[in-house]
Structure 1
Amino acid sequence: MVHVIRRTRSWTCVRLLCLGERNPRRVPGAFRFPFGPVRYMDAGVMLSLYREIFLNRGYEVAGLGDAPVILDCGGNIGMSVIWFKQRYPRDRITVLEADPQTADLLEENVRALGLTSVTVVRAAVSDAAGKVSFVPEGSLGAMSAMGQGCWWTRWV
Structure 2
Amino acid sequence: MRTNRKFAVTAAAVALAGATGVGVAQASPAPAGADAPSACRPANHLAKITEGPASSGHSHYRVTLTAPRGYAPCELAGSPTDVRFSNSGKEIGVTAGRYGSQKGVVTFGPGHPVHFDIQVRDDHRGTPADEVSFTLRAPGGEIPGASFADGSLTVTAGALVGPVQRGA
Normalised TM-score (structure 2): 0.21
**Which of the pair has the greater relative contact order for Cα pairs under 8 Å at 6+ separation?**
2
Normalised TM-score (structure 1): 0.22
Give the number of the structure whose residues are more often helix, by fraction.
1
If you compute each CA radius of gyration, which structure gives the higher value, 1 or 2? 2
Give the number of the structure whose residues are more often strand, by fraction.
2
